[in-house]
Amino acid sequence: MDKKFRVGLIGCGGIAKAAHIPSYLLEKRAEVVAVCDIIQERAEGVKKTVFHNASVYTDYKDLLKDESIDYVDICVPNYMHSVIAVDALNAGKHVLCEKPDAVSVEKALEMKEAAERNGKTLMVIRNNRFIDTSKRIKEMAEEGFFGEFYAGRCGWIRRRGIPGKGGWFTTKAQSGGGPLIDLGVHMIDLAVWFMGNPKPVAVTGNTFCKFADAEVMNSPESKFGDTVENGTFDVEDLAMGAIRFDNGAVLQIEFSWASNIKKETRFVELRGERAGLSWNGGNAEVYYEEKGKQKNKKVGGNPVKLPHKVNISHFIDVLEGKAEPVFVPDQGIDMIKILTAIYESAETGKEVRL
């Protein structure tokens, strides 16, 4: 086997433990040689239980001084994504980063420019693209099965799943927003990717906060992040809106951490000239006509327990020169343009042109 990629894991909290660490245990081409967290006990815990030979840091800048590290994997609160990414790229490291790309368009642009300036690969997690059914839908779209997509809707709505209430998730200065920036990245990205990555040109949006004082939070996702008693809650718990693209297509959106609904659901539905589709988690179905009859067909695929692992493997394929990147920074910049413009529209009550 060729030399393993030496990885520095920055951030040892919920998403690292739930998705990134299990992925590295399965990815034989990478070795986590350093872990970092501002809470030393958390980093020490990861070393003790998983990566026994890893160096431990509490300051990511000290980790970046290790010239043997090939790339860093960033799993920290949103507002630090761009800060650490730019520093890592300037230190000569490739960067894999959790979503969202950044909390502002300017910061997302800084990340792209740093990657280009230093000749390094920058990729932000888009794990839903790597589910088998997602890849098959994308193939069908590129083959022309659906024709041009002209309208659709996507969303991720939870009944009671506010993460880390009072902590960084619900503090806008650290998170950049609520479920729109937390969950919206996933489904908007998937829908736009299926559509062929048209350029967004305008958005409208509304946000609401109705569950900041709710007593019941029992969805599994509410366990993400650290809850802070009497902490800050200055973000939305529901966002709705619409995105218009340069080809005339429109996408409706809805994202919530908490709503009075029956159960959690995540979905992408798209209308094409020749066929439509419905994606719900790892399942998909397409709708079309054939020989004068309406047809419905399920789109199958092998279940993917850890799409993060497939995403990380793709990142390593790119580093090895075996694949072209499925995600490029310009797509991340467009994503942050969409999200920040929806927040602006919600504040002003007006359409925002991009």
Is 98 a domain residue? yes
Q: Note the pLDDT of residue 3.
A: 83
Per the domain annotation, does 89 fall within a domain?
Answer: yes
pLDDT band at 147 (very low <50, low <70, confident <90, very high): very high
134 lies in the same domain as 272? yes
What pLDDT shows up at residue 4? 94
Same domain, 203 and 225: yes
Q: Are residues 101 and 177 in the same domain?
A: no
> 236: pLDDT confidence band, cut at 50, 70 and 90?
very high
Q: Of 169, 4, 34, 47, give the one whose Cα is nearest residue 100.
A: 169
Q: Which of 129, 155, 141 is nearest to 272 (CA)?
A: 141
Whether the pLDDT of residue 65 is over 80: the answer is yes
* Helix (H) and strand (E) counts in the chain: 12, 15
CA–CA distance, 53 with 29 (Å, rounded to integer): 16
Domain boundary among 304, 319, 347: 304
Instruction: Kindly give, in sequence order, each residue whose CB lies less than 8 Å from that of residue 226, ignoring residues fewer than 6 positions away.
Output: 13, 164, 167, 168
Residue 70: other Cβ atoms inside 10 A: 18
Containing structural domain, residue 185: 129-304
Kindly tell me if the per-residue pLDDT of 75 is higher than 60.
yes
Give the 3-state secondary structure of residue 347. helix
User: Is the residue at 216 inside a domain?
Assistant: yes
Residue 343 in any domain: the answer is no
> Does residue 342 have a pLDDT over 70?
yes
Q: Which two tokens stand for residue 207?
A: 């946000």
Mean pLDDT of 320-325: 97
- The predicted structure's pLDDT at residue 304: 82
pLDDT tens, residue by residue, 109-146: 999 999 999 999 999 999 999 999 999 999 999 999 99
**215 in the same domain as 268:** yes
Residues 119, 160, single domain; the answer is no
Q: What is the pLDDT of residue 208?
A: 98
**Tell me, what CATH number does 111's domain have?**
3.40.50.720
**Could you tell me the pTM of the whole model?**
0.95
Helix-, strand-, coil-residue percentages of the chain, each rounded to 5: 35, 25, 35
Distance CA 127, CA 82 (A): 19
**AA letter at 219:** S
Please report, for the domain that includes residue 172, its CATH number: 3.30.360.10
Instruction: Tell whether 56 and 135 lie within a shared domain.
Output: no
Question: For the segment 192-233, what is each residue's pLDDT rounded down to a tens digit?
Answer: 999 999 999 999 999 999 999 887 777 777 777 788 888 999
